[in-house]
Chains A and B, each alone.
Chain A
Amino acid sequence: DIQMTQSPSSLSASVGDRVTITCRASQGIRNSLAWYQQKPGKAPKLLLYAASSLQSGVPSRFSGSGSGTDYTLTISSLQPEDFATYYCQHYYSTPITFGQGTRLEIK
Chain B
Amino acid sequence: EVQLLESGGGLVQPGGSLRLSCAASGFTFSNYAMSWVRQAPGKGLEWVASFNGRGVDTFYADSVRGRFTISRDNSKNTLYLQMNSLRAEDTAVYYCAKGGWVDYYDYWGQGTLVSVSS
Contact = CB atoms under 8 A, between A and B. Distances in A.
Interface of A: 32, 34, 36, 42-46, 49, 55, 87, 89, 91-101
Interface in B59-116: 59, 61-62, 95, 101-111
B11 interface: no
Given A43-B110, A43-B111, A94-B59, A89 B44 contact: no
Question: Main SS of chain B's interface residues?
Answer: loop
A94 B111 contact: no
Contact of B108 (A43, A95, A100): A43
A44 B102 contact: no
24 contacts: A32-B102, A36-B45, A36-B105, A42-B110, A43-B95, A43-B108, A44-B45, A44-B95, A44-B108, A46-B107, A89-B104, A91-B102, A91-B103, A92-B102, A94-B102, A95-B47, A95-B62, A95-B101, A96-B101, A96-B102, A96-B103, A98-B45, A98-B47, A100-B44
